[in-house]
Amino acid sequence: MASPTATRAATSALHPPISPLATPAGASAANGATDISLFLEPSFDASSYVSSLIRDVDASISAAVQDASTSSRSNSLLQPPAEPVGRKSSISLSPITTNPISNRNDPGSRKREQVQEDIDLSLAISRLNLAIEELDRSISTQVTDNAPELLRRTSNLAAMQSGVEQTRDGLKLLDDEVKNLRAKVHDPFVRLVELQDDLRSYDAAGDLVARTSKVVALARRLESQMELVFTGKRDKLEAEPEVGADETSQSRGQVHGRDLSRAALLISELTTLLNAPQNDPTVEPSLLDLVIVQDLLPTLDSARGTVVDSMEDMIVRGLRDLSPIMLGSALQTAFNLGTLPRLVQDLLNDLTEVVKERTVAAFDLETLSRQLNSPIPTLESNSSYSTYRSGRRTNTTEAERARQQQVWTEALWKRLESLIVVEMGAVCSKVYLLEKVLKLKSDSETGVNFLSVALEELGDKPSYTFWLTLAQSLQRQVESATGRSAWLAQMLSGGIGGKGGEGYPKLLRLFQEFFAKIGVYTDIQYSSVHQSPETVILLKSLGGLERGWVDRSTFRIAEVLSSVFSRRTAVVNGEEQAEGVVRRIANVLDTSRLDPLLSRAAVDRCCALVDQFGARLDGLVADDAAGERDVTQAQGLNDSLMRFAYTLSEGLESVAADQDLKPTNAAITSATTSSTYATTLLQTTVARLNSVIRTR
């Protein structure tokens, strides 16, 4: 039997100490009683007890390995090992407490209990020794069985230890190489980037200094140039009281315009430098942020205002005096400032606005009525009792009506003459002068033509815009005025008081005078040989007045040609009526010879009426020959129609010959042709009429 001291030592060696956190003091007494009862059981088996101990240790080791692998995968901090799962507490051999009261009262029972406790303790110690021997045998068996594996793992660990050391040495060398490379490559690269930033800053500063010095130099040159401009203005003001030659004033204006254009060029260069885009706004500051440049801005603005005012004054005087030199200097100044297209557009808008305003004022009958202090005339209506009573109430006589219409007619024709010949002639001269200077003027440095630059914004030439505006404005105002006043429509188309020559032909003579006036400085031509497209556009806008005059002039001709067929039962005097028709046609053609477009319209209408007569004559004679009528009466009617047609044909031949021989008006043409449009068309009409006569 082993001693109690040896038994306690063996028990301590068998079970490792448990953490105080895992074995509270309150639970040690209960666990000790449980262990003692386990060893005192009759069915206690040391082998089974040792096997359970080994299983508990294996389970705790497996759990510790699993926890270690999990913590290593999650890169977490090492935690203290947890309590082994299922590990039993150490065996406690503390004596069983007895009731102190019973011990005090019964000494014999206390002795018996002490003896029994010694017996139980001896039995437990013996069984524990058996368990220790069984555990030692199991450990020996395990060591013997797993010795090769342990040795193999030990050798592997030793080999791995040497490999880990080599790897650690390699990693250390690699770190040293990385440090060397960083010192050789990365650090110089960082320094190079810093130096590049500094160089960029230095370049930006140098460029800023260069541009600033250029701005200052240009500003000084501009100040000197503006002094020359002001000196030229003073010389001009001092020379104004003296009446000199035109060449002297033009040369002085040319010199002043040259100084002005140079100042404008300097202003444009300064503006371009100040508004130039920055390459890198984060590095390169703007010139406008510099104090020295900000101090120059008021001088620049003042110079620009002075140059613009002088340029506009030169343009106004150049257009007023029709001076191409002064206008060219002003346009050169505008080109240097970069405002040439906008300036030309504004000038053209102003001129076209003048055309519209003057046209509206010329046909403003209400304003003219207030000026004449007379109501707008009206056409004479059919006499009736109501008109007779109204005439008596207003005491208006025919003489007063005629005088009123005469006053209105003279006033309107004066307005139209002033509008067409004077005002539109002045505007047209300005437009063509502007276009001519733009066409001939080019920049001396770049060689860019001014007209091509202006057309980028205008789209069309200034002359075309002028003619189109004038034609549209005239058409709009004529239609509006004639729609409001039938008397004005008759005055402009057929004339008042039976004076057909004072209607539309008089208006055409005003336009011909206008064309002759502007033909001096333009390439506009208007004759029977050639009509410029601009003139055709303008006169076609008055197509309503032309049709009204042609209708009024050929009304009697159409009436006679229609009345020939109305009296089917009477024998008419065909020769006299045909001669009357021929005389009227000749009068109409003679009146319309003053204008080639009007002459064509009149010839077309007269020939169309004769062709209609021939077609009706052909059908009428055929019906009469096929009808069941009195032969004598039908023959007499056909005979009179044939005499009318024959006389008409001969008369038209003579009219065609007269049209071919008569010279045209020298005011509108400079040459005549052997075969005019009127002669050709009349001869064609006569041939068709003769074919109808010969078939019958």
Q: Which of 171, 191, 226 is the last residue of a domain?
A: 171
* 668 and 520 part of one domain: no
Is residue 417 assigned to a domain? yes
484: helix, coil or strand? helix
Query: What end-to-end distance do the CA atoms of the chain give, in Å?
Result: 178
Q: Which of 499, 515, 543 is the last residue of a domain?
A: 543
Is residue 528 within 8 A of residue 596, CB to CB? The reply is yes
Q: What average pLDDT score do residues 210-233 get?
A: 81
- pLDDT score, position 269: 86
Q: Which of 324-333, 381-390, 580-589 has the lowest mean pLDDT?
A: 381-390
What would the pLDDT profile of 519-562 be if each residue is shown by its tens digit?
Answer: 888 888 888 788 888 899 999 998 889 998 989 888 898 888 88
Q: Which domain holds residue 620?
A: 554-695
Burial class of residue 503, CB neighbours in 10 A (0-12, 13-18, 19+): buried
- Cβ neighbors of 363 (< 8 A, separation 6 or more) are 477, 478, 480, 481
* 561 and 527 part of one domain: no
Is residue 246 assigned to a domain? no
Q: Which of 212-226, 270-284, 406-420 has the lowest mean pLDDT?
A: 270-284
Q: Is the pLDDT of residue 21 over 70?
A: no
What would the pLDDT profile of 306-351 be if each residue is shown by its tens digit?
Answer: 888 888 999 999 999 888 998 988 999 889 888 899 999 999 999 9
Q: Is the pLDDT of residue 15 over 80?
A: no
Q: Is the pLDDT of residue 446 over 70?
A: yes
* 644 and 537 part of one domain: no
Number of domains in the chain: 3
Q: Is the pLDDT of residue 500 over 90?
A: no
Is residue 273 assigned to a domain? no
User: How does the average pLDDT of the chain come out, rounded?
Assistant: 77
Is residue 68 assigned to a domain? yes
- pLDDT score, position 453: 87
Q: Is the pLDDT of residue 501 over 60?
A: no
Q: What average pLDDT score do residues 445-452 get?
A: 86
- pLDDT score, position 85: 41
What would the pLDDT profile of 147-186 be if each residue is shown by its tens digit?
Answer: 888 888 888 888 888 888 888 888 999 998 888 888 888 8
Is residue 483 within 8 A of residue 368, CB to CB? The reply is no
Question: Best-predicted range by mean pLDDT among 221-230, 385-394, 496-505, 591-600?
Answer: 591-600
Is residue 269 assigned to a domain? no
- pLDDT score, position 665: 46
* 429 and 576 part of one domain: no
What is the C-alpha to C-alpha distance for residues 294 and 306, in angstroms, rounded to an integer? 19
Confidence class of residue 10 from pLDDT cuts 50, 70 and 90?
A: very low
Amino acid at 168: R
* 681 and 603 part of one domain: yes
What is the C-alpha to C-alpha distance for residues 347 and 465, in angstroms, rounded to an integer? 12
* 607 and 665 part of one domain: yes
- pLDDT score, position 90: 41
Is residue 126 within 8 A of residue 64, CB to CB? The reply is no
Q: Please state the pTM of the whole predicted model.
A: 0.66
Helix ranges, 276-397 (H): 291-321, 324-337, 340-362, 365-372, 385-394
* SS3 track for 570-635: CCCCHHHHHHHHHHHHHHHHHHHCCCHHHHHHHHHHHHHHHHHHHHHHHHHHHHHHHCCCCHHHHH
Q: What average pLDDT score do residues 490-506 get?
A: 74
* 565 and 651 part of one domain: yes
Give the distance, in angstroms, between the CA of residue 623 and the centroid of all CA atoms in the same chain: 71
* 638 and 501 part of one domain: no
Is residue 225 assigned to a domain? no
- pLDDT score, position 384: 45
